[in-house]
Chain A
Amino acid sequence: MKKALAMLLCVLLVVSLLAGCGSKTEPAPSTTPAETKPAETTPAQTTPAAPTPAPAEAKFKDDIIIGIGGKIIDIDPQENSNTQHNYYFRCVFDTPLDFNNQTSELEPNVCTEWSTEDGKTWNFTLRDDVYFHNGEKMTANDVKWTFERGKDSSSSSSLCKPMEEITVIDDTHFSITLASVNVDFPYMLTLPTASILCQKAVEGGEKDALGIGSGPWVLDSYEFGDFLKMTRNDNFWGEKAKAKSLTLRYMPEASARLIALENGEIDVCADPDSNELSHVTSNDKLELQTYTSSSIQYLAFNCEKGIFTNENLRLAMCYGIDRDELVDVVFNGRATKCGSTWGWNEYGYNGGGITEYTYDAEKAAEYLAKEGYGPNNPLTVHCAVSAGTRKSMGELIQSQLKPLGINIVIDEYDTAGLSTMTTAGDHECAFYGCGTNVFGDDITRLIDSNTGVNKSHLHDPQVHELMDAARQELDDAKRTQMYHDVQQRLFDIGAYLPVCTAEADFAVKKGIGGIDYYPTSHHDFSEIYFAEQ
């Protein structure tokens, strides 16, 4: 009896070990922090690698499946703007202008020319060979109708509402007059929220009319919360896609997504678990494509109410937190410490050019002592976090700040809960993140008193004044200086402690190329290809 039991237990143990451990091949050197640390460049120099051009002689696979971690629940580009929806929007729809991630320059898209004299009225010339997927020709009227519709939408309203007047001159020429000068306006026309819809299709009630665009891929079929399949647009005005179909499949579990890639069920695994990257690097059929995200992970102090209305306490936290340790421990060294509360990809970035916080426990203690706090009279701080890295950051600063006399109490919420309570200002401080677009004014979201992303509830007249002036300043040098001044001011008052921007990965089968990685994580798969090895 005992023998049989022992044997059974052994068998079970062996099966578990076989199933759960190791991989077929000898593991390649794992991605230790030292190996994956970003190169010693300033973040501003870290531009995304250009998408690999498709090899001329290669044979391409017809079908590509991408496993994504978030679900697609809408086909209307004006009603959703999160990462996964933007994957699809960038493939199916065209925007007036395009943005080159490598040169950081605007490029023509369906609009070939654009100009302004005063930054308020913008003139555009539309290509005359652009057709929607239903065969309708795109005209300036479609653009006008789209932007007017966008004023009442969830996602495009911030782009469209400032458009005071849209004038159609003829089928290929139109002008847009804004309510006030905005030199960043053409950059906003490169975002998926500026996707152009087909007026006739939507008004005519065509099936899936809101999914009819003019981009290189045609919406084929979908099931919300499961998959969205696109087929190649053979009538696309630009370079046609190499594959015949492209499917975005929702696979919520990162580990399961990676297993599906290793098993050959999908071709691209978005955002694999950073603890499992060695499975990719050790597999000779797979490769890791890495980019530096522009999403700033920060600690926001509530400047409107509670203890952090006190600037000294904010600065005590800023100087008392060792961000290098956060990067090394929480992000395994796969992140870059922020030099500014500004995206490294953003116009006017001045990382390294301003006086920033260096870890200085003595200075932090001095700021605390000014307010009567210290190891003998500790300050209790509630820090709101969500699960994952934000919680880990909270736990680490808990131990970092304790010797100084700051007791961090971690309040954990789910993502929606954290968003709401920080917007409502019910927090003392919170770890949060914000992806930044390329135009300088994009940072307004973080510091404008009227937005939901201003998690520090900052109302600083000097900052507002500078941002308003910069938005309307046509002189580049002056505008840049204003943005630099804002960044310095933000450090001086300690409303945010910008921690880092993390490295992000895509695991792909060897032969996959053409993905245009956006630091904002809203990547462009429209030119993806799979060259057979």
Chain B
Amino acid sequence: MHRYVLKRIILLIPVLLGVSMLVYCILDLAPGDAADILAPDDATLEEKEALREELGLNRPVLVRYFEYMWKLLHGDLGESYLSPVSVWSAFTQKAPNTLKLGLASVIFAVGTSLPLGIYAARHRGSWKDAISMILAILGLSMPNFWLGLLLMLLFALRLGWLPSGGADMGLRSLILPTITIGTGMMATLTRTTRSSMLDVIRQDYLRTARAKGVTEEVVIKKHALKNALIPIITIIGTMLGGILGGATLTESVFSWPGVGRLIIDSLNGRDTPVVTGCIIMTTMFFSVVLLAVDLIYAFVDPRIKAQYASKSKKGGEKKDGEKAATA
């Protein structure tokens, strides 16, 4: 298990290198740079060029990239081109808001989709199943910004129950953006839960359990759900991993001061260090969450735990064999 974790962590290095290089190069290919944004209207061409030189934008992209990575190796995510703050400080200022919103959305999605998916699976082929799936498809098809605006119009403007945006009204500020993001997640998760449950419900051991007189509730909760959890956990893990990247459109619509909005604003301002820094942090978070999900599999499914155990055992035996051969 430890070797597996170590291997995954080592694998993270080429992933981060690849992602950061892609981001850096794509941003460089895009027309425009931060000097254009920073320079005032009346700046002369020389002043713009001087600014470009000051920011180091006149050097080749690979030189800038390797300098950036060198700094990163020393724990420095760099400085924003546009704002007098470090990337780390800009990121850490926004990350808690995004995490809060992301977690709330995942909780909302899990809380609604599991019962809905199970319900649909139990009533497969009936109108109840159809309604559940229509809801899921609706959630998946509605663009976030559109749903966000509709919710805002209804709950903020018409009913006046909730604020339309911002993050300064505590839980009340969180509700509408959570539902907006969570609805999309809920749709995917409901469908996965349904299909995963359908796979399990047909298994012989559940028929046996029912034949033995176990109540339907216990059959579903204790036997079926537990065995259907692996694909569901994978989806939840992917969702959790993605939350730090933020839901850019939703954050913009709800004026939510999070990482997604920071990335979009920085992209518009060609603030390469901020965009790269945020994406590196997001990638790391994503990878770590996915690793954690892989490890959780072992706890949920004893068969996977057994696989880990047998692998390490084989590894140990192999080592012993090698040692014996050497001796």
Contact = CB atoms under 8 A, between A and B. Distances in A.
Measured as residues with beta carbon below 8 angstroms from the partner, the interface class of chain A is 35 or more
Interface in B41-59: 41-48, 51
Contact of A252 (B134, B261, B270): B261
Interface string B82-111: 111100001001100000000000000000
Contact of B83 (A74, A155, A445): A74
A452 B255 contact: no
B48 to A, nearest CB: 5
A256 interface: yes
A256 B269 contact: no
B157 to A, nearest CB: 5
A255 interface: yes
A262 B159 CA distance: 12
Interface string A237-269: 000000000000111110111011011010000
Given A154-B51, A417-B32, A1 B127 contact: yes
A354 interface: no
Contacts of A81: 40-41
A157 interface: yes
Contacts of A39: none
B138 interface: yes
Contact of A224 (B33, B47, B83, B253): B83
B interface secondary structure, majority = helix
Interface residues of B, number: 57
A453 B41 contact: yes
Given A73-B83, A263-B156, A417-B32, A154 B255 contact: no
Contact of B265 (A12, A157, A225, A451): A225
A421 interface: yes
Nearest to B270: A416
Given A19-B158, A223-B257, A74 B84 contact: yes
B48 A249 contact: no
Contacts of A158: 40, 42-44, 47
B151 interface: yes
Contacts of A253: 252-253, 255
A283 to B, nearest CB: 11
Contacts of B32: 413-421
Contacts of B39: 154, 452
Nearest to A76: B84
A8, A434, A444, A448 — which one has the most chain B CB atoms within 10 A of its CB? A8
A417 B33 CA distance: 8
Interface stretch (B161-169, B203-211, B219-227, B280-288): B161-169
B131 interface: yes
A154 B261 CA distance: 25
A209 to B, nearest CB: 12
5 contacts: A19-B150, A20-B149, A260-B156, A413-B32, A417-B30
Given A20-B149, A20-B153, A253-B253, 11 more contacts: A15-B154, A154-B51, A225-B261, A226-B257, A251-B165, A259-B153, A263-B157, A265-B164, A413-B32, A416-B31, A417-B32
Interface of A: 1, 4-5, 8, 12, 15-16, 18-20, 24, 71, 73-74, 76, 79-81, 154-155, 157-158, 193, 223-226, 249-253, 255-257, 259-260, 262-263, 265, 413-421, 423, 434-435, 442, 444-445, 448, 450-453
